[in-house]
Structure 1
Amino acid sequence: MAYDEGLAHRLGDALGALPGVTAKKMFGGIAFLWNGNLLVGVMGDDLIARVGPDAQEDALAQPGARVFDFTGRPMKGWVIVDGGVVSEDEALDDWIARCRDFVEALPPK
């Protein structure tokens, strides 16, 4: 499955100054890990956002967000955001910030 390389590039640019960020192919797309923990990614044309279980309900209330059920089983603390919703840098930055709020509290892997 191909993924939106433009969105992947924008994520890479937005995360470029954050120490400990690496990119890895997964979910048929690309994921960005922070200190070994998945932070955000791209699957198809959409954004994968790891917001954490406590923030999932609020995240799902946002436009274009839906449950991440890649395997047919919903993943707690993860959402998929329609790529059109994050076409503007401000919206993408907002989603990255949501994910950073959760992932920065995790221990490095």
Structure 2
Amino acid sequence: MPESPQDLLVQRIRETLQTQRSVREKRMFGGVAFMVDGGLAVSAGQDGDLLVRVDPAEYEDLLAKGGQPAFMGSGRPMGQGWLNVPAVEVDDDKALAWWIAVGLTSERT
């Protein structure tokens, strides 16, 4: 049985985060969230999209780099602390690592 886009992204996130000391995975709201040092940094969506915690001060700049406003449920915006990154924007491992680094930096602020 072929792996889902979410399963493939989860594996890639695991590989990217393998050098972090405290990583925990938790299924939340249909996604697989990655908690690093106790804070949620990123989450793999069912369609292979990446939910990323961001610094609200960098929100507009990150929209220009491929992020999209994140929504919870049916059209409820999550605010400027979160972005959704479409699967096509994280197809490349370097791009995925860059977005994960954004989430890690924002999680620690």
TM-score (norm 2): 0.86
Instruction: Give structure 1 stretches of 5+ with no counterpart.
Output: none
Instruction: Give structure 2 stretches of 5+ with no counterpart.
Output: none
1:18 partnered with 2:20: yes
CA contact (8 A) 1:31 1:38 kept: yes
Partner of 1:92: 96
Equivalenced residues, count: 103
Describe the superposition over 1:7-46 as per-residue Cα deviations: whole angstroms up to 9, x where unpaired.
Answer: 1100011011101111000120200001221100111220
Amino acid at match of 2:100: I
Pick the structure with more helix per residue.
2
| Runs of 4+ with >3 A deviation | none
CA distance in 2, matches of 1:89, 1:53: 25
Partner of 2:108: 104
What is the percent sequence identity of the aligned residues?
Answer: 36
What RMSD, in angstroms, separates the aligned Cα atoms of the two structures? 1.4
Describe the superposition over 1:63-84 as per-residue Cα deviations: whole angstroms up to 9, x where unpaired.
Answer: 2x21111232211210100111
CA distance in 1, matches of 2:20, 2:103: 13
TM-score (norm 1): 0.86
State the secondary structure of the residue aligned to 2:50: strand
